[in-house]
Amino acid sequence: MTDTPTIASEKTWHALVLGRAGLDLYPQTDGGKTRDANGFTADMGGSGGNIAAAMGKVGTKVALLSALSDDSIGHFVRQRLQECNVSDALLQTCHGNSRTSLAIAEVRPTDCDVVIYRNDAADLQLCLTDAMKAAVADSSNLVVTGTALISEPSRTTTLELMQHAQTHSSRVWLDLDYRPWNWPDLQTTRSIYSLAAQHATVVIGNEEEFAVLTDELEAYIERANSLVIHQTILLKRGGHGASLFSQGKRLDTGVYPVTPLKPYGAGDAFLGNVVDHYHQHKDWQSAITRGSAAAAIVVSQRGCASAMPNTKEINILQESSVMTPSATWR
């Protein structure tokens, strides 16, 4: 499935990612439970940081829009972003009591506990600036993660930047990224998600996340694909692949078979590479296939940001493995 090619963009940024980045700790050894750990290894995590890292690793000119605490954890995250070729030029620093998020994630394919600490999260203190607006206007893509919408001032900042991106012909990607413990109730979440979705070119999520946005997914897809709205829906289906709905057409893709080490990180690797590849080639089939290969690599390795593959690693997997057939959705 291919869109009509467009004139090459003259914009400075290929993509900007708006969302959280934090510190991940993984108990040693692989397969163990946190309660039994004798030590931990560290990496950068958080959906925004991971998506940006996935793009930076394959050469995307990308920056993260977020806020970090002014402490050793915030400095750790900033350094890891730089190591992943993600610009920190638009990062804000919190000098108060807000702290960069922490996640403790077990490295297990099943029965995998992930505990996230986001009390007074620094990334939710993100404030709108003229520099951010100028960067969004000068970017071909804006990727927004749903947790940026949880509270103020990040919520208003996010919504205004999404509108600003639309005004300046930037493709807006909304990753629903639903974390129920961050929201007061379903009604509030649905209201905010619906508002954000109005400004999105592409909406991404799994079935559970789309159930937060709508009770009637098939009807929502039909409306989104209408000539009036013309929104692309990308449904992530885990081990069953992905389904994309765009301009009245449907594309189903499979997955690359691997032995998983852990269940998390795949969605961020998938989206980062879909955005990068679609930006370059305007072909959904190859973009989703590329994203699926990146996702397979990440779930088979320890870590998140550090596990994001580079171009060579993705090429090797695609040349040496065959995707499973796509499974029918409904």
For the chain, give the secondary structure using H, E and C. CECCCCCCCCCCECEEEECCCEEEEEECCCCCCHHHCCCEEEEEECHHHHHHHHHHHCCCCEEEECEEECCHHHHHHHHHHHHCCEECCCCEEECCCCECCEEEECCCCCCCCEEEECCCEHHHHCCCCHHHHHHHHCECEEEEEHHHHCCCCHHHHHHHHHHHHHHCCCEEEEECCCCHHHCCCHHHHHHHHHHHHCCCCEEEEEHHHHHHHCCCHHHHHHHHCCCCCCCEEEEECHHHCEEEEECCEEEEECCCCCCCCCCCCHHHHHHHHHHHHHHHHCEHHHHHHHHHHHHHHHHCCCCCHHHCCCHHHHHHHHHHCCCCCCCCCC
Q: Is the Cβ–Cβ distance between 170 and 133 less than 8 Å?
A: no
The per-residue pLDDT for range 168-208, each reduced to its tens digit, is 999 999 999 999 988 999 999 999 999 999 999 999 999 99
CATH code of the domain covering residue 143: 3.40.1190.20
Residue 13, in any domain of the structure: no
- Asked if residue 5 has pLDDT above 50, the reply is no
Query: How many Å apart are CA 26 and CA 34, to the nearest integer?
Result: 8
Amino acid 229: pLDDT: 66
Locate tokens 């490295």: which residue? Answer: 107
Backbone CA torsion sign across 291, 293, 294, 298:
positive
Amino acid 239: pLDDT: 87
Amino acid 9: pLDDT: 57
Residue 180, in any domain of the structure: yes
If you average pLDDT over every residue of the chain, what do you get? 94
Residue 173, in any domain of the structure: yes
Residue 191, in any domain of the structure: yes
Angstrom distances, CA of residue 40 to CA of 1, 27, 32, 313: 44, 4, 11, 26
Determine the straight-line distance between the first and last CA of the chain, rounded to whole angstroms. 20
Amino acid 228: pLDDT: 61
Q: State which amino acid sits at residue 74.
A: G
- Would you place residue 329 in the very low, low, confident or very high pLDDT band (cuts 50, 70, 90)? confident
Angstrom distances, CA of residue 156 to CA of 89, 127, 291, 301: 21, 8, 30, 36
Amino acid 269: pLDDT: 98
Q: How many residues appear in the chain?
A: 330
Which carries the bigger pLDDT value, residue 263 or residue 1? 263
Residue 282, in any domain of the structure: yes
- Would you place residue 7 in the very low, low, confident or very high pLDDT band (cuts 50, 70, 90)? very low
Of 9-18, 73-82, 141-150, 200-209, the poorest mean pLDDT is in 9-18
∠ CA 290-292-296, rounded to 5°: 120
Give the CB-side neighbour count of residue 246, counting CA atoms within 13 A.
Answer: 19
Domain that holds residue 277: 55-66+123-320
pTM: 0.95
- Asked if residue 2 has pLDDT above 70, the reply is no
- Asked if residue 227 has pLDDT above 70, the reply is no
Torsion of CA 15, 200, 21, 297, to 10 degrees: -70
Amino acid 225: pLDDT: 82
Spatial CB neighbours of 67, under 8 Å, sequence gap ≥ 6: 91, 92, 93, 94, 98, 122, 123, 124, 125, 126, 127
Residue 112, in any domain of the structure: no
Residue 172, in any domain of the structure: yes
- Would you place residue 3 in the very low, low, confident or very high pLDDT band (cuts 50, 70, 90)? low
Amino acid 326: pLDDT: 76
Residue 165, in any domain of the structure: yes
- Asked if residue 4 has pLDDT above 60, the reply is no
Q: Average pLDDT of 275-287?
A: 97
- Would you place residue 74 in the very low, low, confident or very high pLDDT band (cuts 50, 70, 90)? very high
Query: How many Å apart are CA 224 and CA 55, to the nearest integer?
Result: 27
- Asked if residue 147 has pLDDT above 90, the reply is yes
Tally of domains within the chain = 1
The per-residue pLDDT for range 233-265, each reduced to its tens digit, is 999 998 889 999 998 899 999 999 999 999 999
